[in-house]
Structures are given as structure tokens and as C-alpha cells.
Structure 1
């Protein structure tokens, strides 16, 4: 007699939708932080390092958008797979870089 998990196909339920929404919220938050960093550069006298950090944060923001878009697209499949390790590391590095660039801009 086989186990019930082996007999029935996996039903992900609403988990992929919740994960997709979490990625969207994170992307929106990341966008707001990047825009605020750019605004800080435009409004105040900031050093060249601050301007370079704002430009770098925009580039890192684009990289995060790419990772998030790929993950949200992958969640649209009937049986979504786990987040690849490289994509997870890339997302974490992007967030850490944004925090470091934000400190530099301030």
C-alpha cells in the first residue's frame, strides 16, 4: 500500500499566489527605497560618492526586478519549482547592496 502523497498529485492551493504577492510587495518596497535615495541626491548637497551610490542602487534595483520577474513568472506554472539558489542569493545581495547604498547617500 503506497503512501497518500505518492498517489495524489500535489495541490499547491493558494501558496503560489501568496508567494507572488509577497514578491510584488517586496519589489514595491524596494522601488520606494530606490526612489527616495534618488530624491535625496536631487534635493540635498551630496558628495560624488552619494551620487555614485544612487546610480549603483538604480542598477541593483534593475537586477532585483529581473530576479523578481523571473520568480513571479515561474510561479505561474501549474507546478512551480523551488527558487533556485543563485536567484535567492542574488535577491539577498541586491537588498544588502541597497541598504549599503542608502547609508552612503545619507
Structure 2
């Protein structure tokens, strides 16, 4: 049996053991990347409230979830694991150097 099929068959067990919630999205996702790009190109709000990216673009589905989990836990890919572990510390260090009111965390 293929790895994907085995993963799909484990969904009920995973949901039961972790308390996850399943969401079915009935939306066309192909235009969302353009919305993300447009949001990133837009400058900060003139009111000083920062930058807002309104797109709901995301990676949904079992395959992307499994791939992300593998990348985060791959013993031969420590960069991902170390980046996740040090993100909040590095974000604070960058935010501390910004002018007041420029960063919302």
C-alpha cells in the first residue's frame, strides 16, 4: 500500500489521539498566490497599523501537512528544526531595532 494511502487511513486515529479538527475547504485556491503577492507588495497602512495581508492562501491537505511534518523533524535537515526553535528569539532581536510602533507581535 502506498505511503499516501496509509496516511489517509490513519486520519481517524490521528484525530482521536491529538484532538485535531478537520476542515473541508470548498474554495478555488489558484488565485490566492496572486493575492499574497499583492499584499506583500503593498506598503504599510498610513495610519501606522502596519502591513496587512488579507489573502487566505494556504496549503491545505494531507500531503502538504505530512511533508511539513517530515521537514520539521528530519534529522538530516537541522536547519528547519533550528529555525523553528529560534524564531521567536530572532524576531524579538529584529523588532527591538525597529522604530517604535513599526512592529506588532
The TM-score by the shorter chain falls in which range? under 0.3
Using CA pairs under 8 Å that are at least 6 residues apart, name the structure with larger relative contact order, 1 or 2: 1
TM-score under structure 2 length normalisation: 0.27
TM-score under structure 1 length normalisation: 0.27
More helix as a share of residues: 1
